[in-house]
């Protein structure tokens, strides 16, 4: 049976290291504060907002939620982002997405200053992931996969990582973070030929397709580590992209859904907020 790579010990270790950093900031007169922008009442976004608020409370940071109407004009949203850019008491901002159409999500994300882009959505943050510069922050889910692998001592140097999904939220930035750690990365997508054959050759397989049960025994080999990023709802139940029962019987290690990568994502958000607050408290 495979070792189960649960996210809770990873996020707990991160929280333990963030609490004294947040306290030191508060003693120095800087209360770490995250702005959360939400449009409308989408259930999954409300759930993520609440989980981010709980995480901020745990580390001793504050979360300030700005709620706008689903039909809010672009100018009103941009004015809010500008206000957050200006406010010295807010060091990080998360814009809950997807934004309702016809809002131009790219333009809204680009309006945020990279110093406060703790969720890795601005062109500057994404560019930095690709160029290796330290501007902004990588997308939290991509970084959460790295945190999970590092916590469980799974080395990346020289490993062949097969990554399924090429979105700007997970797949593409994660491919860069992995290459920066000397992994050899194969990035797959919906047009990739022979996905089972490609997956079988992986040392580490990361599934981020958003397709429930896409990966099963025909994709897997003994000795592999499988990271399931997918979050899908099937008949009211959360599941990943990997058929867990089939995979658990074959591979060496696997992260579950729920309770795997998703459990680490808000801890990464908190870490980015503390990093950002420390940069404002100790400029340069
Ligand atoms: P996305 O933007 O829809 O991208 C999905 C990617 O998977 C695309 O590149 C797509 O290929 C590829 N793909 C889809 N079906 C495929 C198939 N049958 N075979 C091979 N490739 C396939 O999704 P996303 O935003 O990256 O999210 C991916 C999953 O991660 C979702 O389940 C989402 O809920 C989950 N997620 C989890 C967290 C977390 O905290 N754990 C955070 C964010 C997202 P094409 O490019 O060719 O279309």
- pLDDT, residue 117, reads 98
> What is the best residue among 51, 98, 170 to mutate for testing ligand 1's pocket, by most ligand atoms within 8 Å of CB?
170
Q: CB-based contacts of 39: which residues, under 8 Å, 6+ apart?
A: 67, 68, 69, 70, 72, 77, 96, 99, 100, 103
Under the phi-then-psi rule, with left for phi > 0, alpha for psi from -120 to 50, and beta for the rest, what region is 158? Answer: left
Residue nearest to atom 5 of ligand 1 (CA): 209
Nearest residue by C-alpha to atom 31 in ligand 1: 210
Cβ of 233 closer than 6 Å to ligand 1, yes or no, is no
Helix-then-strand count for the chain, H and E: 10, 11
Q: Is 240 in the pocket of ligand 1 (CB under 6 A)?
A: no
Q: How far is the CA of 79 from the centre of ligand 1 (A)?
A: 31
- From the CA of 135, how far away is ligand 1's center (Å)? 25
**DSSP bridge partners of 39:** 68
Closest C-alpha to ligand 1, atom 6: 165
**Cβ within 8 Å of residue 72, ≥6 positions away:** 39, 103
Digit-by-digit pLDDT tens for the chain (284 residues) are: 899 999 999 999 999 999 999 999 999 999 999 999 999 999 999 999 999 999 999 999 999 999 999 999 999 999 999 999 999 999 999 999 999 999 999 999 999 999 999 999 999 999 999 998 888 999 999 999 999 999 999 999 999 999 999 999 999 999 999 999 999 999 999 999 999 999 999 999 999 999 999 999 999 999 999 999 999 999 999 999 999 999 999 999 999 999 999 999 999 999 999 999 999 886 55
Q: What does each C-alpha distance from 99 to 65, 70, 110, 247 come to in angstroms?
A: 16, 8, 14, 35
Would the CB of 259 count as within 6 Å of ligand 1? no
**What's the CA-to-centroid distance between 127 and ligand 1, angstroms?**
20
**Closest ligand 1 atom to Cα of 241:** 32
């Amino acid at each position: 049976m495979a070792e189960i790579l649960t996210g809770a010990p990873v996020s707990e270790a991160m929280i333990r290291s963030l609490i004294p950093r947040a306290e030191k900031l508060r003693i120095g007169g800087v209360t770490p504060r995250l702005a959360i922008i939400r449009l409308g009442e989408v259930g999954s976004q409300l759930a993520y907002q609440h989980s981010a608020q709980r995480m901020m409370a745990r580390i001793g940071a504050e979360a300030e939620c700005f709620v706008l109407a689903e039909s809010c004009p672009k100018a009103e949203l941009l004015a809010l982002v500008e206000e957050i850019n200006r406010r010295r008491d807010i060091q990080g901002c998360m814009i809950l997405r997807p934004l309702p159409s016809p809002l131009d999500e790219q333009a809204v994300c680009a309006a945020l200053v990279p110093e406060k882009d703790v969720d890795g959505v601005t062109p500057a943050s994404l560019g930095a992931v690709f160029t290796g510069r330290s501007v902004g922050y990588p997308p939290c889910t991509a970084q959460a996969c790295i945190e999970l692998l590092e916590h469980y001592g799974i080395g990346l140097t020289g490993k062949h990582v097969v990554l399924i999904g090429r979105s700007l939220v997970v797949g593409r930035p994660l491919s860069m973070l992995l290459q920066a750690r000397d992994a050899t990365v194969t990035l797959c997508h919906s047009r990739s030929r022979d996905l089972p054959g490609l997956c079988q050759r992986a040392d580490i397989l990361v599934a981020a397709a958003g397709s429930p049960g896409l990966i099963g025994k025909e994709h897997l080999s003994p000795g592999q580590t499988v990271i399931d990023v997918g979050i899908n709802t099937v008949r009211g139940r959360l599941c990943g992209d990997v058929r867990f029962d089939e995979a658990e019987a074959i591979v060496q290690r696997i992260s579950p859904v729920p309770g795997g990568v998703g459990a680490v994502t808000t801890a990464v958000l908190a870490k980015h907020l503390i990093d950002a607050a420390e940069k404002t408290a100790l400029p340069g």
